[in-house]
Structure 1
Amino acid sequence: MGASVLIAASQNECLKEVLKVVAFMFTDSVFFSPAVGHERTNLSKRKFEAPEGDHCTLLNVYRGYRLAGKEKKLKEWCEVFDIHQRLLNTVFKTRRQLRDICSKNLLIFRSCGTDTDRLR
Structure 2
Amino acid sequence: MAEFPVEPMLSKAIIASEQERCTDQVLTIISMLQDTDSLFHRPSDEKLHADQARLAFVWPGGDHVTLLNIWEQWKRTNFSRQFCYERFLQFKSMCRARDVREQLVNICQRAGVPMSSNANSTDLTPVQKTLTAGFFYNTAELRRSDDSYIALKTKQVAHVHPSSSLFGQLPPAKAVLYYEVVMTSKAYMRQVMEIKPSWLRTTSNSPTLSNW
Normalising by structure 1, report the TM-score.
0.88
Deviation at 1:7, TM superposition (A): 0.3
| Count of aligned residue pairs for this structure pair | 117
Percent sequence identity is 24
> Which residue of 78, 87, 101 maps to 1:95?
101
Q: Report runs of 4+ in structure 1 exceeding 4 Å deviation.
A: none
1:51 to 2:60 alignment: yes
Structure 2: gaps (5+ residues): 1-8, 129-212
- Stretch deviating more after TM superposition (77-86 or 36-45): 36-45
- Note the C-alpha offset of 1:77: 1.0
TM-score (norm 2): 0.52
Q: Distance in 1 between matches of 2:17 and 2:83?
A: 30
Structural RMSD (CA): 1.5
Q: 2: distance between equivalents of 1:56 and 1:42?
A: 18
1:5-84 counterparts in 2 under 5 A? Answer: 5-27=13-35, 28-69=37-78, 74-84=80-90
Gaps of 5+ in 1: none
**Hey, which of these two has a bigger chunk of strand by percent?**
2
Distance in 1 separating the partners of 2:116 and 2:38: 26
Distance in 1 between the 2:112 and 2:81 partners? Answer: 36
Of structures 1 and 2, the one scoring higher in RCO (CA 8 A, sep 6+) is: 1
Secondary structure in 2 aligned to 1:69? Answer: coil
Q: Partner of 2:78: helix, strand, or coil?
A: helix
